[in-house]
């Protein structure tokens, strides 16, 4: 099995008033061409892991024995190498995308630019690619939305624009931090389908961070459970019943159950028609 990412003993601490405050402690895991879920309560360190991998935490202290990504050990990569990797090879869909868009540029240009930074092409080719990507995230009138400024789009649409921006250059590893929490249910499924398609047809690796254990167990292949900055358990999504740790069992017991123990998403994920219907 291909290992896209191999993380050994990753720890992250933030600067607090009285010194460093640990947020992630000695976390080790690998990511293959799969959907890996990370769940855990608020503050358990999920987003911190994602940001640390892409080194999007300028003031935090990040240590690791290694963060192997292809040929690169990211613990040793220069900022220049990180610039080449971010977006092109590894992308993170941020939990709160509002602050990531440039307020003074039309959103479409920002999506197109995310492609042009990494791929040699003309402006009009990049624009065409961006329009296609906006359509793929279920923006039905991409021509109109292309020219809007960030303050003119809703939260859900902003989230989809960010997703388009993060996926347009074709990264092999995608870290999606609560990617669908701001979206309507109908759009949510399309976005999940798009992410799923990147794994099944392009062979990318996806890390899906979520509060929603039901979503993760139905959408992902493996599930990593975090508690207070540590991994308490790594489980096969199809066999969550094998959970040993009391925290995991508590988390599972706390999930709302809709119509028994099968969630609507489970049906969709295993419905071949759903998986075959490829995003553009």
Enumerate binding residues for Mg ion (CB under 5 A).
Answer: 47, 95
Q: Whole-angstrom Cα distance, residue 147 to residue 30?
A: 40
Q: Which of 37, 40, 97, 205 binds ligand ATP (CB under 6 A)?
A: 40
Neighbouring C-alpha atoms within 13 Å toward the C-beta of 144: 6
Of 17, 19, 42, 260, which one interacts with ligand ATP (CB under 6 A)?
42
Q: Residue 157 CB, nearest distance to ligand ATP (Å)?
A: 21
Q: Which is nearer to Mg ion, 108 or 158 (CB)?
A: 158
**Residue number with CB closer to Mg ion (136 or 182):** 182
Instruction: Name beta bridge partners: 61.
Output: 13
187 binds, among ligand ATP, Mg ion, none (CB under 5 to 8 A by kind): none
Q: Does 86 bind ligand ATP (CB under 6 A)?
A: no
Please, which residues bridge with residue 58 across strands?
none
Among 11, 30, 48, 214, binds ligand ATP (CB under 6 A): 48
Q: How far apart (Å, rounded) are the C-alpha atoms in residues 280 and 194?
A: 9
| Range 182-211, binding ligand ATP (CB under 6 A) | 211
- Give the CA angle between residues 161, 166, 168 to the nearest 5°: 90
Helix boundaries (H) for 120-270: 123-136, 142-146, 155-167, 185-200, 213-219, 246-254, 264-270
Binding site for ligand ATP (CB under 6 A): 14, 23, 40, 42-48, 95, 211
């Amino acid at each position: 099995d291909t290992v896209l990412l191999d993380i050994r003993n990753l720890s992250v601490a933030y600067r607090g008033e009285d010194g460093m405050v640990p947020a992630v402690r000695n976390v080790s895991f690998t990511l293959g061409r799969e959907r890996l879920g990370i769940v855990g309560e608020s503050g358990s360190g999920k987003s911190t892991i994602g940001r640390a991998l892409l080194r999007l935490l300028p003031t935090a202290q990040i240590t690791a024995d290694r963060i192997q990504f292809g040929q690169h050990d990211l613990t040793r990569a220069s900022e220049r190498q990180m610039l080449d990797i971010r977006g092109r090879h590894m992308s993170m869909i941020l939990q709160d995308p509002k602050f990531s868009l440039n307020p003074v540029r039309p959103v479409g240009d920002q999506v197109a630019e995310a492609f042009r930074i990494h791929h040699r092409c003309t402006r009009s080719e990049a624009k065409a690619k961006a329009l296609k990507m906006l359509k793929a995230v279920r923006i039905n009138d991409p021509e109109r939305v292309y020219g809007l400024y960030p303050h003119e789009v809703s939260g859900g649409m902003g989230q989809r624009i960010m997703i388009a921006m993060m996926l347009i250059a074709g990264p092999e590893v995608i870290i999606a931090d609560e990617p669908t929490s701001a979206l309507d249910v109908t759009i949510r499924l399309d976005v999940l389908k798009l992410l799923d398609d990147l794994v099944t047809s392009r062979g990318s690796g996806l890390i899906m961070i979520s509060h929603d254990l039901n979503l993760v167990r139905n959408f992902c292949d493996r599930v990593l459970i975090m508690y207070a900055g540590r991994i308490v358990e790594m489980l096969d999504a199809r066999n969550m019943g094998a959970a040993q740790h009391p925290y995991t069992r508590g988390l599972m017991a706390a999930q709302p159950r809709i119509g028994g123990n099968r969630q609507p998403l489970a049906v969709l994920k295993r419905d071949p028609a759903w998986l075959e219907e490829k995003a553009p």
